[in-house]
A and B are shown apart, each in its own frame.
Chain A
Amino acid sequence: MDYFLLYSNCVLVKGAHRATLCDLQKGAVYFIPKPLADLFLEDQAVDLVQLREKTEGDMVLFLMEIIDSLVENQLGFYTNQQEWKRFPALNKEWLFPAHISHCILDTATGRLDYFTESFVEQLSKLCCNFVQLRFFGIPPIEHLENILRLITGSQIKSVEILMPWNTAYESGCTYGKWINDYKKISSLVCWGAPSTCVVKEGARAMGYLLYTSEQINAATHCGIIDQGMFSTNITTYTESLNFNSCLNRKISIDIQGDVKNCPSMKESYGNIGDTTLVEAIGKPGFKKYWNITKDQVSICKDCEFRHVCTDCRAYLEDPGDVYSKPLKCGYDPYICEWAEWSTHPLKQKGINFYGLEKPAF
């Protein structure tokens, strides 16, 4: 047993100061100190003989203890070179059968009148799986139920809904009823609620009812990078290796009805009143962010979280550089510390540029 080999769905992601070991099967992230990370061959295995030869006294013990604990936690196993050949690295392809995977629809009024049978037909042609409805005004009950019925009868797999909390719906048990009646709701988030809480716990990422006291009343609330939003799985990992972690296969319609890659971006590819989704996607430039990977983004490329993190290209630290780090991320991979992004001195240029100075309520 002269090698330590990681299970191939536990991937090593090296950052500037340390590495993460992302367990894509079980969805957990572990930290690996840099001296150990640097010993990995092909990011897969550690040659234990070499470790003992090349490392100084105390360090050997320290590193061997970490490796022992990795074996104990079932992240890897001891093996020999012969057996290593039998355990190839994970296939890096992103396997996702959709021309559009996510669709965000924003409305200031509470109405999405273009959401008709023929609109759903357009989404289905694009194999769109996930829809997010962001209501910045209260949707009439009849109207939303009509939309939910259309979704129920379609190939759409899940819908996330954000809407303003209001007393009448609360006392009429409307929210709970929707969760019960429409099984494709992954989560219903009522913002501007009296408190922040999980009202109804879902199961397997479906059927959540959440209240938040935050005011999510405009698209400018999007783009926050937070550890709570990291997702550790093969789909996220392989997408982040090959494509942009937010904008790839995304389509949005902003509050004006403009079809965009992301509602917070300026570039519009036509209005939903006179353009089909397929036409918009076909226009030059629509996909220009799809291939910007974390490995190309400054600072992110040195970050150990880059393959479990999301991305944002709409709000950038340096608005003049498309490869700039997301503005709303407070993490510094060189010192491994999180800070509040909105008050950070280096972020003020970007904050002013996007007009995010005041809290938007």
Chain B
Amino acid sequence: MIVIHSQQDESTTDDVLDWLYYFGMEQVKRVNGTNPINAKALRINNHTQHSNLFDDAESSAINAYWYRRGHLACEISEPIKLGYSGFVTYFEKEYDHLTKGISQVFKQYRNINSFEDTGTNKLTNLAVAAGVDLLIPDTLVTADVKAIKAFSAIYPRIITKAIGHNRITATIDDNSYINIAVDTAIFDQDKINALPEENNFLPAVFQEYLEKKYELRIFYFHGQVYSMAIFSQLNEATKVDFRKHDTETPNRCVPYQLPEDIEKKLGRFMQHIAMNSGSIDMVVTPSGEHVFLEVNPVGQLQWLSANCNYPIEREIAKFLLHDS
């Protein structure tokens, strides 16, 4: 049996499933984030690795596992939530620990990603990338205004972004919550100058702004590398962060052939961070240098395979079928 951990209506999962069915595989268990794990059991002992995480099969019959997206749903009962809201954090931490444990168990199988990969650290990843001789942008992580000002004096422009989380979701009261995307933004020099020095805020990432010829989105998958160039410079709206899509004039996205040495370094990088699959962002500067930005374990794939006609979904299916 193949186990796929994903979210409902996640289209890349649907596409891979189409290939699996096409190859005649019917033993597929798709676990969506909505499946509560409260009632499931993980059994660990000397004799078996059996557990009834899936109602219709024992995990010993699992041949491959793909962590695509999502959490396992953990249901915290209403009385606890309402009456003992202070305990919710404890419940969440316990569930988180269980989810990670389950994720570890699945890593024994032939797998693509694991839930743990979502916790990958962007800061240490930059350090690892530099360690394998990939170019990275000069990066400062701080809340110290003096340091920011000194840093901004070195480069014509700097950008700022969150350290680890690109989205703020917060509950305001019973009926409302906020959901804010924290995108990469240019940090204007006059705004930096205007910062009072005794400011007190959350540390953030500051990076030199890289002029780009084009950006690269690279899907790395068990040693295979699929790259796409995004001509984001053509559109003002997407110059800084190509994820801010301009739907009127979509960026031109075409297949790209990375230089061999960069491909090798990326392979080494992925080995170092022990991630067997991920979407890597890079930029190519006007002078032709390839600069590493970050890796995302659960990145958008369809965008890449659809624009470049890459057989990514088919290859994922074949991998899960032990056919590659």
Contacts and interface: CB of A to CB of B under 8 A. Distances in A.
Interface of A: 7-9, 25-26, 74, 77, 83, 85-88, 90-93, 95, 97-99, 127, 155, 234, 238
Contacts of B45: none
Nearest to A77: B231
Contacts of B258: 86
B311 A98 contact: no
Given A25-B250, A25-B253, A95-B314, A90 B21 contact: no
Interface residues of B, number: 28
A358 to B, nearest CB: 44
Contacts of B15: 97
B310 A91 contact: yes
A127 B254 contact: no
7 contacts: A25-B250, A25-B252, A25-B253, A91-B309, A97-B19, A97-B314, A238-B309
Contact of A91 (B19, B22, B308): B308
Contacts of B257: 85-88
Contacts of B250: 25-26
Given A127-B21, A127-B22, A90 B309 contact: yes
Interface in B249-275: 249-250, 252-259
Chain A interface mostly: loop
B255 A95 contact: no
A239 to B, nearest CB: 11
Interface of B: 15, 18-19, 21-22, 229, 231, 234, 249-250, 252-259, 288, 305-311, 313-314
B216 to A, nearest CB: 10
Q: Which 7 A-B pairs have the closest CB atoms?
A: A97-B22, A97-B18, A91-B309, A97-B19, A8-B254, A7-B254, A234-B309
Chain B interface mostly: mixed
Given A90-B309, A97-B19, A97-B21, A8 B314 contact: no
Given A91-B310, A93-B309, A95-B314, A9 B18 contact: no
Nearest to A76: B252
Contacts of B305: 95
B307 A9 contact: yes
A155 B256 CA distance: 34
A83 B288 CA distance: 9
Given A25-B253, A74-B252, A234-B306, 15 more contacts: A8-B254, A9-B252, A9-B253, A86-B257, A87-B229, A88-B257, A90-B308, A91-B255, A91-B311, A92-B309, A97-B15, A97-B19, A97-B313, A98-B18, A127-B21
A191 B312 CA distance: 42
B7 to A, nearest CB: 19
A8 B310 CA distance: 13
Contact of B22 (A87, A93, A99): A99
Contact of A95 (B231, B307, B311): B311
Nearest to A89: B255
Contacts of B253: 9, 25
Contacts of A83: 288
A1 to B, nearest CB: 13
Contact of A98 (B22, B234, B254, B256): B22
